[in-house]
Amino acid sequence: QPRQPLLPNTAASRLGILGGGQLGRMFAHAAQAMGYQVAVLEPEAACPAAQVAEHHVQLAYDDEQGLALLSRLAPRVTTEFENVPADSLKLLATGGFVAPAAACVSIAQDRLAEKHFFTRCGLHTGVYPAPHWGIASEEDLKSVNDDLLPGILKTTRMGYDGKGQVRVRNREELHTAYALMQGHCVLEKMLPLAYEVSVLVARGVDGEAVVYPIAENVHRDGILFTTLAPSPNVSPEVARQAQKAALDIIAELGYVGVLCIEFFVLTDGSIVVNEMAPRPHNSGHYTMDACDTSQFEQQVRALAQLPLGSVRQHSAAAMLNILGDVWFDGERQREPAWDRILAIPGAHLHLYGKAEARRARKMGHVTFVASSMELARANLRSACVILG
Ligand code: ADP
Ligand code: MG
């Protein structure tokens, strides 16, 4: 399909977004910098994206009037979170251009559909998901093969940041866990992970695709803690394999926009594809300060059907997520010492404008860029000491 660019700086240069969180806010910043106005559909009042967007439609994601209004305001619409109702994207697509498409987002919303899709892609990527089995009833537990245990039972829908999943060592624990979770789940074999990486890819309507360097992720309590890019552990061979798999997956999906794919690197050096997020991703925030084109600018380019930007990384980067926890000193609440963080060389602070700091809530991130990964990492460690 040939590109039909929506050029910046005209009366019609407006981009719409479903969702008003921090990803929407950073998308809006990128869009505005390039000469677009932004319209946000989000039921919450003072959300991160509505603080910066020109237009805020304060209605539910599935409100037909809200969707119609968003469509009128913006001829091109994207989403900043993956659990947006697929029907909303379909409805919007009747009035304008929507990327990513409902069909792609639907696959990413369902772990089992996602695994089936990855398995199909495996035929040419050579990269497969973890051994798994779909469970939709107590009855299905009987058909679970012994070699999937120990494993992780995950809900097929709505899981994120390690929520909606339980580790089970044996059949007894599997039964107990399923009795609590109910509904549609998938049991995955527990794999020996060496480390975890993610690959950010982007594709335009014309099929042009780009892939960013491999980022390495460390989670704490299920939430992303740090991202190092380029991954210090990955071998050139594994990097090539993961990047090729990511490009194959995005092409096979016929996806338009930015897509993030998580992989596990196992102790034997082989790789397994875990899940994908149909949007810019927390592990791609380093691109804002360390690459020629940030993941948010890339999303703007794909949505506006402009040429994709260069994915060259010009600096080593270490990103630290800032959770609400750092506002708490025991019972006492205090503002973190941002002046001390910003005194560290190569520090780039990003705060999301959330009024209330809560534990485990993503409040911002800071990326340290440097001429080497050793330096970037050392600076990240200094920040950890300051934040406590
Ligand atoms: P979420 O949607 O919460 O990110 P994930 O499927 O990515 O869910 O799982 C969260 C974390 O649990 C992963 O980052 C990884 O550390 C661990 N994990 C998930 N699946 C497996 C597995 N099959 N084997 C070993 N560890 C796993
Ligand atoms: Mg994950």
Identify which of 133, 226, 264 to mutate to test ligand 1's pocket (most ligand atoms within 8 A of the CB).
Answer: 264
pLDDT at 36: 98
ipTM over 0.85: yes
Residue with tokens 């696959």: 107
User: What distance in angstroms lies between residue 198's CA and the mean position of ligand 2's atoms?
Assistant: 9
Closest by CA position to 132, among listed 143, 121, 247, 250: 143
Contact assessment for residue 169 and residue 148, using Cβ atoms and an 8 Å cutoff: no
Ligand 1 centroid distance, CA of 193 (Å): 10
The mean per-residue pLDDT over the stretch 156-168 comes to: 90
User: What pLDDT was estimated at residue 252?
Assistant: 97
Q: Is the pLDDT of residue 163 over 90?
A: no
| pLDDT per residue as tens digits for the range 207-227 | 999 999 999 999 999 999 999
Of 118, 39, 344, 377, the C-alpha closest to 230 is 377
Q: Report pLDDT for 162.
A: 82
Domains of the chain (ranges, CATH numbers): 14-98 (3.40.50.20), 131-189 (3.30.1490.20), 193-387 (3.30.470.20)
Does the Cβ of 114 fall within 6 Å of ligand 1? no
Q: How far is 257 from 34, CA to CA, in rounded Å?
A: 17
pTM across the whole model: 0.97
Q: What is the pLDDT of residue 72?
A: 97
Please list the residues that pair with 271 across neighbouring strands: 265
| % the chain with pLDDT above 90 | 95
SS3 274: strand
Examine the pLDDT at 331 and tell me if it is beyond 90: no
Inform me whether the pLDDT recorded for 337 exceeds 90.
yes
